[in-house]
Amino acid sequence: MSTRTAVARALAAGTFLVAAGCASADVASEAASGATSGITSEDGRPAPLSWRGYERFPSLYFAAEPSGPFSAEQLRRIARFELAIIEFRMGQFADEFDGGRWAGGDLQGLMNAQVERIKAVAGPDMPVLTYLNAKWAGTMFAHQRRILADQDLFLPDPRHCEGFIEYPLDVGETGLTSPLDRCRWDFRRADTRAAFVEMVERAAAGPADGIFLDNGHSVACDGEGELSRLSSAERESFMRGQHVAYREAFTTLRRLGRRPVLSTTVGFARYGAQVPFEDACPLPEEDLLAELDGVPFTRNNEFWMWNLGELASTQMLNTLEESRRGVPIIVHVPYFPEDDGCLEGCFGVDGQRVRFTEQEFLEFTAAAFLVVMSPGSYFGFSDMQAEPEGGGWFDESWDFHPLYDAIVTGAPVGPVRVSEDGMRFARTFERGMVTVDVGRGTAELDLSGDP
């Protein structure tokens, strides 16, 4: 399997260096047998997210069915993935013309029911997670509605809260309005952190194997001031409070045998923010990991491979550093077919536009993922323009691609190699080699050998 241009010639020319941020083959091979990510809970039990990524490509499903419960056909397709996360628009339109309530007013209950239905088809060992937002509290289930009543827990800035409060209880037919106008957690407050941890614990009481926490640092890293009017110093205090809340919430999840996944755009100090629109983080990723030292979690990389060149290189190098530090990663690749790959076009280091078909972009980004993959990592890929309302998060955007069944790497052999300019990456596995050039948007997967 190969995309348009191989970069093996660069290997032969000796232009690659050993990546300083890559876990060694010995560390990576600990999970080669495929049971778990290697992280255990305090009582010695394995982490709940099973992983066999060197034997079977670790594909991710992360979507919702807005009309209600998943169909039997959808369940069979979801069961083919290695990890499923149920997105928050589950059942968005199920009650649209009757009660007018999103998921009948109980999103958590609907998500929990889908966890059980997926496991009934896929088997009990398939990891399934449910969704919570780490930025705002809505009215998607009863406990959140009670929390919102205490408006002092939230930032005194109502911008971008209209609809976040009413919409889950009103999908456009009831005319419901709320007297409340604050919804963004103010993590500087101890009582806010306590309420947040209680909400996470209640969500974890269901059958899911873990909780996906979205928008981890959206407010703290909001340099354009779209989500708050906090000064830089205030955002730093806010971000430190967030990290304390995450430590307490993740410790609670660990005690319950649940896995936390934190979706964030923050990066290490040497690389910076991982997307160009949340790029004013007052603290780097080192501060997050210092606060969470000893508390296992998985980091989600949203908008991974958002474009080529420096951004793609930064994302890959940052992810390699996370792998070196033992942080499992999830990546979601957004594909924009109307733009031939990236939103508003993919551009390489020479400024030339690179156009991808869906299969080409899938192969290119899957190859990039294999370079940075470590035990516990998963890869998601969705069509962001498959339908107008879901923005890439409704079920129809998440296909199970034949490529997922075709990729078998075996354990990694030796470290990742990175070119001096940080644009070309190469990795050898038991079954062959993967090479990627993020400056030109090219890659090669040669995994035809036997382990």
Q: Tens digit of pLDDT per residue, the chain (451 long)?
A: 443 333 333 333 434 455 544 443 333 333 333 333 333 333 433 344 679 999 999 999 999 999 999 999 999 999 999 999 999 889 988 877 777 677 877 889 999 999 999 999 999 999 999 999 999 887 667 788 889 889 999 999 887 787 677 655 555 556 666 788 898 999 999 999 999 999 999 999 999 999 999 999 999 998 777 888 899 899 999 999 999 999 999 999 999 999 999 999 999 999 998 988 888 899 999 999 999 999 999 999 999 999 999 999 999 999 999 999 999 999 999 999 999 999 999 999 989 999 999 999 999 999 999 999 999 999 999 999 998 888 889 999 999 999 999 999 999 999 999 999 999 999 999 999 999 999 999 999 999 876 5
Whether 197 maps to a domain, the answer reads yes
Whether 10 maps to a domain, the answer reads no
- Phi, psi (rounded to 5 degrees) for 320: -60, -40
Whether 430 maps to a domain, the answer reads no
Separation of alpha carbons 211 and 302, rounded Å: 16
Kindly tell me the sign of the dihedral angle through the C-alpha atoms of 343, 349, 352, 356: negative
Whether 15 maps to a domain, the answer reads no
Output the pLDDT for position 223. 74
- Residue count (the chain): 451
Residue 122 structural domain: 26-412
Q: What does pTM read for this prediction?
A: 0.89
CATH of the domain at 271: 3.20.20.70
Whether 46 maps to a domain, the answer reads yes
For the record, the structure tokens of 381 come out as: 């890929």
Whether 322 maps to a domain, the answer reads yes
Cα angle at 27 between 26 and 32, to 5 degrees?
Answer: 85
Whether 261 maps to a domain, the answer reads yes
Output the pLDDT for position 5. 36
State how many domains the chain has: 1
Distances (CA, A) of 170 to 93, 163, 314: 10, 9, 41
Give the DSSP H or E segment for 74: helix 72-78
Whether 422 maps to a domain, the answer reads no
